[in-house]
Amino acid sequence: MDAAKLEPGEIPTTILHHLCEGECQTIDQIVNALGLTHRQVSNGAGKLILRNYLERVEIGCYQLTRDGLTAKHNGTVITSGPWRPDTAGTRKPVRDTFRQRLWTAMRMSGAFTIGELVMAASRDDADPENHTGRYLRYLKAAGYVVELPVRAKGTHQTSNGFKRYRLLKNTGPTAPLYQAKRKSLHDYNSGVDVPCNKPL
């Protein structure tokens, strides 16, 4: 089969629906029957084994499991998406990121504007003002940062000035991490997830 024309998951799906109940087939048999290469069969079988649909009876000889038979009867189509629930915990904090540098600068400052933070924390980051604004909105929604009533004066003719902020919850040295999926801010310092679902 021409690999360029295959959809992700097409080979494991083909193998799943090719094998029959109680039948153990070798790689060669599957290669001959489906017109695949050895490598394609081996990789496809690997994906089925991950999902517990296939078992290797001996080297190069495959048989459907009970789950595999059920999947075959249900007409399951293997896709490239996740094959089990994402139960991973929170990522480990990364030390030298732009947001970490922003957080450090915030902890050292009293009131601050986006520009002041960018000046302290930016290195060669792309669009640092936009990035800083977004991070501050997450922190504000989670109650870590408060927007001050008086803005810093701008210089452009139509400028509304620059918002000024103050860090209210200085919980520790590690920058809180925004988790888009959970709509929360994970604070490594206190170990808690703070909901962050107010309109941003």
Partner 1 sequence: MKNVFVETSNVKRFLSALSALEERGAQEACLVVVDGLPGLGKTTTLKHWVAQNGCIYLRAKKEWTPSWFMNELLETLRVDPPHSFQKKYAKVLEELATRQGMASMERRIFGLVIDEADHVSSRAAILETIRDISDMIELPTILVGMGRVNDNLARFPQVASRVSQKVRFEKATKDDVRQLVRSRCEVPVADDLIDFVLTVSQGFNREVLEAIANIERFGLRSEPGEGGVTVADMAGLVIVNDRRTNQVIKVPGAL
Residues in contact with partner 1 by the rule CB under 8 A: 95-96, 100-102, 104-105, 107-109, 114-116, 118-123, 128-129, 153, 155-157, 172-174, 189
Nearer residue to partner 1 within complex by CB, 123 or 181: 123
Cβ 113 to partner 1 shortest distance, Å: 9
- Rounded alpha-carbon distances, angstroms, from residue 108 to 67, 133, 141: 57, 18, 21
Nearer residue to partner 1 within complex by CB, 30 or 177: 177
Nearer residue to partner 1 within complex by CB, 154 or 195: 154
- Packed helices 128-141 and 114-121: angle between N→C axes, nearest 10 degrees: 120
Cβ 175 to partner 1 shortest distance, Å: 11
Nearer residue to partner 1 within complex by CB, 2 or 96: 96
Token pair of 152 as six digits = 């810093």
Choose among 150, 146, 137: nearest CA to 178: 137
Q: Is 161 left (phi over 0), alpha (psi -120 to 50) or beta?
A: left
Nearer residue to partner 1 within complex by CB, 10 or 116: 116
Cβ 95 to partner 1 shortest distance, Å: 6
Cβ 118 to partner 1 shortest distance, Å: 4
- Rounded alpha-carbon distances, angstroms, from residue 155 to 57, 148, 158, 162, 199: 75, 19, 8, 10, 29
Cβ 123 to partner 1 shortest distance, Å: 7
* Phi, psi dihedral angles at 161 (to 5 degrees): 90, 180
User: Three-state SS for 128?
Assistant: helix
